[in-house]
Structure 1
């Protein structure tokens, strides 16, 4: 399931026109001198610093994979860590933490989505999240039995919890609650 990656990629592309590689930019990069000026440190935390905030385990689930990467694409830096858990063949939960230089624009989008849904009662499965260390929105697609919670943590990090095979958003909310969001908010 790559929905969260595609959602994040679409969000990144929407807020930053021209992001990505073109044949022309790859050709210019290939022509660049090897002994260029020293590279400045990335403005994002390295993915290995994000990984400890991913859940080590989930009750009743099997840990099936952990991935991470940090990269710089022109002016845009992205660092991400993801852990996947499965239960049988039909249920899956993924937790992804992202730090990016596009964070200000993404934060604005997440806050706006949460504010837009603010009038929904807490009993609504898609009610927004307003916790001490996080604000976010929740979606559910009953035709695909997929849910996602996208949280802005510490005005910097995006935490996305997605599930497949569950009849609502209870699981993504439960998993999100179990993450040390306050600790992540303090990470700089």
Structure 2
């Protein structure tokens, strides 16, 4: 016979899961444009996940114009934000000597800093912005002859309000 008394079931211990260090993707989605003049809304996607020590939250909306033109707006919040912020700021600073009329001149707005690129071979443009020293907003286009459209779309986003989101 077992000399131990029947073991009482220990009380359940609740382990609190720390909140995600990133804003949930559904809280990022309202900062995506609902529509773009002359475009058709194609898709909206989003996710929040943890991959080891790295957390990432992203929301993306794609718009099309005809068969050969597309614009995507993507907002990302990640625990890797510090490294990405340094890279975006460095790229913007590197291009600071470019004239404002240069289609690849960096962006220095009140709530955002970023850089713009154009790949003529792929007919793609992108503006990568650091917003509120936290969020990465990428506006990409396909099928346009320059960076005008990504700059226009980026300018239309409420980046000041996004910068305040915590």
TM (normalized to structure 1)? 0.80
Correspondence 1:72-91 to 2 at 5 A: 72-91=50-69
Q: Which residue of 2 aligns with 1:92?
A: 70
- Matched pairs, number: 154
What residue number does 2:25 align with?
47
| Match among 130, 144, 153 for residue 152 of structure 1 | 130
Partner of residue 106 from structure 2, selected from 100, 124, 128: 128
SS in 2 for 1:174: helix
The reply on whether 1:173 has 2:151 as its aligned counterpart is: yes
3-state SS of the aligned residue for 2:37? coil
Distance of 1:122 and 1:147 partners within structure 2: 17
Larger radius of gyration: 2
Paired residue secondary structure (2:44): strand
- Gap regions ≥5 residues in structure 2: 1-12
Equivalent position of 2:118 in the other structure: 140
User: 1:64 maps to what in 2?
Assistant: 42
1:55-92 Cα distance to aligned partner (Å, 9 max, x none): 00000000000000000111110000000000011000
After TM superposition, give the deviation of residue 36 of structure 1 in Å: 8.9
Distance in structure 2 (CA, Å) of the matches to 1:152 and 1:36: 38
Identify unmatched segments of 5+ residues in structure 1: 1-34
Task: Tell me the secondary structure at the aligned position of residue 96 of structure 1.
Answer: strand
The whole-number CA distance in structure 1 between the counterparts of 2:99 and 2:120 is 19
Shift in Å at residue 177 of structure 1? 0.3
d(CA) in 1 for partners of 2:125, 2:56: 24
Task: Work out the CA distance in 2 between the residues paired with 1:68 and 1:104.
Answer: 22
Secondary structure of 1:143 counterpart: coil
Alpha-carbon distance in structure 2 between the residues aligned to 1:130 and 1:83: 24
d(CA) in 2 for partners of 1:37, 1:125 = 52
Counterpart of 1:111 in structure 2 is: 89
How far is 1:143 from its partner? 1.0
